[in-house]
Structure 1
Amino acid sequence: MSYGPPPPPPGGYGPPPPPQGGAGPQAGPAPDNWLVPAILATIFCCWPLGIPAILAAAKVNEYWNLGDHAGAHEQSSKAKKFTIIAAISAVVVWILIGLLYFLMFAAMFSAAGSASYNTY
């Protein structure tokens, strides 16, 4: 009569430990790392917010491969947040600059149109 599984063979290492994230291989696909949008946001939009986005995006795959799935999702959300904020801030700045140029030219042309030239 047997009680439970047989003992492991002598000199064996035993089963591998579970991953650090605790989710195991059933965790699903890796989260998007947002690296390309972060690089584009850094180049074309707002580099002070794009650099943290690149740093967070670079950590996503590293954390995922180490088994820290929660950390990978957290870094992915940070990269997404910084990328979107950089893009929105760039659009706001571009709109303000366009408005400033419009007001500047409007003031310039209104001053030129109201000037009277006296010729003697």
Structure 2
Amino acid sequence: MQPGMPPPPGYQQGPPPGAPQEPINSHMGWSIGAIFLFWPLAIPAIMAASRCNAAIAAGDYMGATAASEDAKKWAKLATIIGCCWIGLWCVIGVIWIIVVAAATSSAATY
């Protein structure tokens, strides 16, 4: 790219040197918390959050932003699937309690 020429479409340039940068959230806490909900997807979230922290330390603004979005995606999926899984087991538990209560109450009245 020549000086004075506009960047090509789709090209994103980081902030100029010395300009204040907005902090990048690595979503490490959310990723670690998602371990308790659905660990198979929380592990990639933790790995992406770790890549984000490494990119921030290296000064790679674009890489850190991409890794942060990746960590957020995996943590969100782990949270949604984990909450649905827990909700499903709660519903199954309530149905089981109702069935057992109905069976024991009818058996006691013979």
TM normalised by structure 2 equals 0.75
Distance 1:69 1:57, change over 3 A: same
Name the amino acid aligned to 1:37: W
Rounded Cα–Cα distance in structure 2 between residues aligned with 1:34 and 1:61: 10
Q: Once the two structures are superposed, what CA deviation does each residue of 1:56-106 show, in whole Å capped at 9, x if it has no partner?
A: 001112223333322111100111111121112111111111110111111
Rounded Cα–Cα distance in structure 2 between residues aligned with 1:101 and 1:22: 53
Identical positions, percent: 30
Aligned ranges 1:1-120 → 2 under 5 Å: 22-23=13-14, 24-25=16-17, 26=19, 28-42=21-35, 44-115=36-107, 116-117=109-110
Aligned residues: 96
More divergent stretch after superposition (75-84 vs 106-115): 106-115
Runs of at least 5 residues in structure 1 that lack an aligned partner in the other structure: 1-20
Name the amino acid aligned to 2:37: C
Runs of at least 5 residues in structure 2 that lack an aligned partner in the other structure: 1-11
Matched-pair contact (CA < 8 Å) for 1:27–1:69:
no
Partner of 1:80: helix, strand, or coil?
Answer: helix
Q: Which 4+ runs in 1 deviate beyond 3 A?
A: none
Larger radius of gyration: 1
Name the amino acid aligned to 2:28: L
